[in-house]
Amino acid sequence: MIKKFNDLNYYELLKIPHNASPFEVRQAYKNILAIYEESSLATYSLFAEDERKAILGKIEKAFLTLIDDEKRNAYDKSLVDVGEIPENLLTAKELQKAIPLFQVNTTMTKDNNLARIRKKIKEKGTGKLASVMLNRDFISGQDLKNLRESLGIELAEVFEATKISPTALEAIERDDITNLPPKIYLKSFLKSYAEVLQLDAKQLVEGYVKNMEKS
């Protein structure tokens, strides 16, 4: 079952592992702010102003807690007490082994990767497959995957263009309800996915969410 936004702990909110390094915390905070800041098209079209402010408030609180060693230690202990994380993750040794959540690719930037995707779409066109998909009341992750693959676009390219984690992208394409991100993130992720493939974001989001809720 997908967790409600208010039930997410700070790590789930920032989409980082419990043993994330301070660098990863800052990177996650920066990336999430880009989704929910006032100028973001995703927040403009999908969230009311009071809802967006509530989201940003909790994100800010999560960041300020996890970036401060003393506050983070106290918060982690509270998570251990309720059984949300194992105690061994609190050790400094484990923290040093944190795996980067946001990968840095020195040979490919977001902009030139988008240009490559745009070129593929221009050459092949989304055509009838996209039109049929968007006209359905229910849109599945398999529909998205079929369209992406028909265009010759790799999932890794979508990741590079959107910075949505590969795990989340795979869950979306598999309709994996257990591992889908919370709906508040899911809508923004779907909108970014639609923009990359040059699809109508509103139709895609509505169709996918309806399919998810039906399931």
Residue 44: domain span: 5-96
Domain match, 143 and 206 both: yes
Q: How many domains does the chain have?
A: 2
Domain match, 121 and 206 both: yes
What value does the mean pLDDT of the chain take? Answer: 79
Domain match, 144 and 182 both: yes
Question: Does residue 105 sit within a domain?
Answer: no
Report the phi/psi class of residue 63: left, alpha or beta, with left for phi > 0 and alpha for psi in -120 to 50. Answer: alpha
Q: What local confidence, expressed as pLDDT, does residue 61 receive?
A: 92
CATH of the domain at 45: 1.10.287.110
Q: What is the model's pTM?
A: 0.53
3-state SS, residue 187: helix
Domain match, 72 and 140 both: no
Which phi and psi angles does 182 have, rounded to 5°? -50, 150
Tokens of 191: 């909108």
- Say whether pLDDT at 206 is over 90: yes
Q: Which of 34, 64, 96 is the last residue of a domain?
A: 96
Domain match, 23 and 74 both: yes
Q: What local confidence, expressed as pLDDT, does residue 82 receive?
A: 87
Tokens of 91: 């050790």
Domain match, 182 and 131 both: yes
- Say whether pLDDT at 167 is over 50: yes
Question: Does residue 138 sit within a domain?
Answer: yes
Express each pLDDT in 104-155 by its tens digit. Answer: 443 445 667 788 888 888 887 777 778 888 888 899 999 999 998 988 889 8
Q: What local confidence, expressed as pLDDT, does residue 140 receive?
A: 93
- CA atoms of 93 and 166, how far apart (whole Å): 26
Contacts of 137 (CB under 8 A, 6+ apart): 207, 210
Q: What local confidence, expressed as pLDDT, does residue 161 receive?
A: 83
Domain match, 84 and 161 both: no
CATH of the domain at 199: 1.10.260.40
Q: What local confidence, expressed as pLDDT, does residue 39 receive?
A: 56
Contacts of 22 (CB under 8 A, 6+ apart): 67
Mean pLDDT, residues 42-49 taken together: 58
Domain match, 47 and 142 both: no
Express each pLDDT in 86-98 by its tens digit. Answer: 776 665 434 444 4
Of 1 and 188, which is predicted with more confidence? 188
Contacts of 29 (CB under 8 A, 6+ apart): 14, 59, 62, 63, 67
Mean pLDDT, residues 65-84 taken together: 89
